[in-house]
Chains A and B, each alone.
Chain A
Amino acid sequence: MAGAVAQGDVFVRVAARRRRSSLTRSRIRSAWLFIAPSLIILALIAGWPLARTIWFSFTDANLNNLSDYEFIGFENYLANYDGEWLGLLTDPDWWQSVWNTVWFTLVSVSIETVLGIIVALILNATFPGRGLMRAIILIPWAIPTIVSAKMWNWMLHDQFGVINDMLLRAGLIAAPMTWTANADTALWAAVAVDVWKHTSFMALLILAALQMLPQDIYEAAKVDGVSPTRVFFRITLPLIKPALLVAVIFRSLDALRVFDLIYVLTSNSRDTASMSIYARQQLVDFQEVGLGSAASTLIFLIIALIVVITLAAGRVRLGEDPR
């Protein structure tokens, strides 16, 4: 069907539309039949919890007694009590956690992208032991986050940590740094651990894109004597851009939901809490299912918004490409 429409011929299109009544219709029907199981499963495991969370965000549900709650409209988000504005949208802690998360995502994903490209370019070159190298760089990514976070927590420890020991011996710092205790360095510590863990994931996705590139362009560039930097920015980067964009979106989605890493490093501290930590604290520690659901709903909306913006930005730039 798609082929027929793409031809753009009016007569064919009319004919196609007429034919829809018989063969196409039954095809569409069987198509629906085939995707129905996955749609039902998606609705059950993703749609229903999401809908329920959004519903709870408009109620005053409490974990202490989940069967007894009332609809309170937007009060969890914003409400005016005796002239005082209350609710999630007025909570400085919430906005602090949003800012922490966005900052964490921007910084960590940027660093991971740059390092990922470099690592991928190295691994794309031919050298002895390449297969082994490719396997080795995946190790950080294979370790569960909770384990690596705990591991780094000890490595960053101010008294016994190996990081301070190395920096002291190298003479880079005069006294042990308190990486995770100091609000100024705690988020940087989280970024460092995240970069350590996820650069290999980025590199892997970019490497896959690099391997798909046609070699003849590079040969032509070589013959024309184009400098390697120019080759990278004019040929390699534009060609891997779609794959890069997918990788960046994947990582951003992950980073925006960050929980375990920051929770292990600094627990519920407000200076470093991410949006997910805020939501968990409301839901579990404070038993405020309503407010926690409101926070979760906002997280969902914020992430959706950022993905749409990233996709749109990527598409605009793709459109500029002379094809």
Chain B
Amino acid sequence: MPRLIASLGFAAGILASTSAWAVEISISCSALGKEYEICKQGVDAWAKKTGNTAKIVSTPNSATERLALYQQLLAAGASDIDVFQIDVVWTGILADHLMDLTAKGQADIDDHLPAMVETSRVNGRLMAMPWFADAGLLYYRQDLLDKYKRPVPQTWADLTETARMIQDGERKDGRGDFWGYVWQGRAYEGLTTNALEWVASFGGGTIIDDKGDVTIENPKAAEALKAAAGWVGTVTPEGVLNYTEEESRGVFQSGNAAFMRNWPYAWALAQGADSTIKGKVGIAPLPKGGADGRNAGTLGGQLLAVSKYSKNADAATDLVLYLTGQQEQKRRAVEGSFNPTIVSLYSDADIAKANPFIGDLVDVFTNAVARPATATGQNYNKVSTEFFNAVHQVLSKRAEPAQALSRLDRDLKRIKRDGWK
């Protein structure tokens, strides 16, 4: 039915257009809260500039549901949607159905964050353009750090110690439900992003390396998981094993936690007018595994891609280049706090005025660790599912880290049996 409506809309668009070459482009952009409005303004500006018309197709809010819808549309070769907003880990999954943008995107692509560009490429070909970036960040309570005279933690061990100290102190003051550190531990994609940060920060690799070899079974990864499992029940509530982003933000924003791992979106909400912790929050890169470790936030964010089945591929590509271009990314950063993927925008004065912390983020994005989506292609979801299930078992103390990783290694190699495709 949506296809029929879309086709009718498409036909109506053709009939209504006055000039012969003006076309209608359909774009699917996320419609979560403010995102729809900001997207519409950008799309309308392009339409006005080029004389084409463009309309936004609403898609499900849940990322997994959206991917399923995209797959069904694309597998059927439907031309209803010309431009797709895709997650950084979907490029490999959808690549067969996307248009190669290498030729047209080549001129601008070097301006973007290298990590984001990497997620847009499949086998060296540019299948999408980076639109906005996301990465895991550490949120901390500045007032509590001051109260207990502690610095912002640099390593996970620091964080554990500080979290315990603040938690003990606050509980002694009668706040029985206060916790040290909250994050996302539910068995879902979010746990993959969290656990990858621990493993990578300890120097334990990225589950699967660029060449496609399974690397997860190593002592550093085991050490990282052991540290994380140690938090559960001590500085982290056991309930975190079923938390997504919003549940952990709920605990942190109601003032019941000293630290939180979350995406940049939580910043604006934590500093919102109705927030109990307004003005008491700071953000920092996630801690290192140890003295020899690194800061690693998992890279998130969204790309724009053109469907191979689009009837107006040229206009669609033009829209993608416009939306991912400097001017539009700046507008989105100022008006919607979307983090640009163009490096030079991080030193832009107007953006810095709207988001004071933007300058700190460029390092986080530059050092961000990408999930092994490019190497695993179509199999990414399977790899991620095996990984977060193994981690979940360790966190809920149903498996020892080494044992879980050895089983994970076997399962991943079994998935890889015929290569990653």
Which residues of chain A have a CB within 8 Å of any CB of chain B? 62-66, 81, 86, 157-160, 176, 178, 180-183, 186, 266-271, 281, 284-287
From A159, A269, A285, contact of B237 by CB (8 A): A159
CA–CA, A149 and B385, complex, Å: 23
Q: Which B residues are CB-close (under 8 A) to A285?
A: 64, 68, 381, 385
A159 and B96 within 8 A (CB):
no
A64 and B75 within 8 A (CB):
yes
Does residue B142 face the partner (Cβ distance < 8 Å to A)? no
B242 and A63 within 8 A (CB):
no
Residue in A closest to B378 when the chains form the complex, CB atoms = A64
B417 and A63 within 8 A (CB):
no
A183 and B396 within 8 A (CB):
yes
What string of 1s and 0s marks CB contacts (under 8 Å) between B106-122 and chain A? Answer: 00000000000000000
Q: Which B residues are CB-close (under 8 A) to A86?
A: 414
Q: Can you list 6 A-B contacts (CB < 8 A)? A: A63-B71, A64-B96, A178-B237, A284-B64, A284-B68, A286-B382
Tier of interface size on chain B: 35 or more
B256 and A267 within 8 A (CB):
no
Mostly, the A contact residues are loop
Question: What's the count of A-B pairs with C-beta under 8 Å?
Answer: 85
Can you list the 8 inter-chain pairs with the closest CB atoms, starting with the nearest?
A158-B239, A181-B242, A181-B241, A269-B187, A178-B239, A178-B238, A284-B68, A180-B242
A158 with B398, Cβ < 8 A, contacts A180-B242, A285-B64, A287-B71 known? no
Residue in B closest to A153 when the chains form the complex, CB atoms = B242
Q: Closest CB-CB distance, B84 to chain A, in whole Å?
A: 15
CA–CA, A63 and B75, complex, Å: 7
CA–CA, A82 and B73, complex, Å: 37
Q: Which A residues are CB-close (under 8 A) to B250?
A: 159-160
CA–CA, A270 and B396, complex, Å: 12
Residue in B closest to A66 when the chains form the complex, CB atoms = B75
B71 and A269 within 8 A (CB):
no
Q: Which B residues are CB-close (under 8 A) to A158?
A: 237-239
Residue in A closest to B251 when the chains form the complex, CB atoms = A159
A181 and B240 within 8 A (CB):
yes
Q: Closest CB-CB distance, A263 to chain B, in whole Å?
A: 11
CA–CA, A181 and B64, complex, Å: 21
A65 with B96, Cβ < 8 A, contacts A160-B250, A286-B381 known? yes
Q: Which A residues are CB-close (under 8 A) to B76?
A: 66
Q: Which B residues are CB-close (under 8 A) to A180?
A: 239, 242
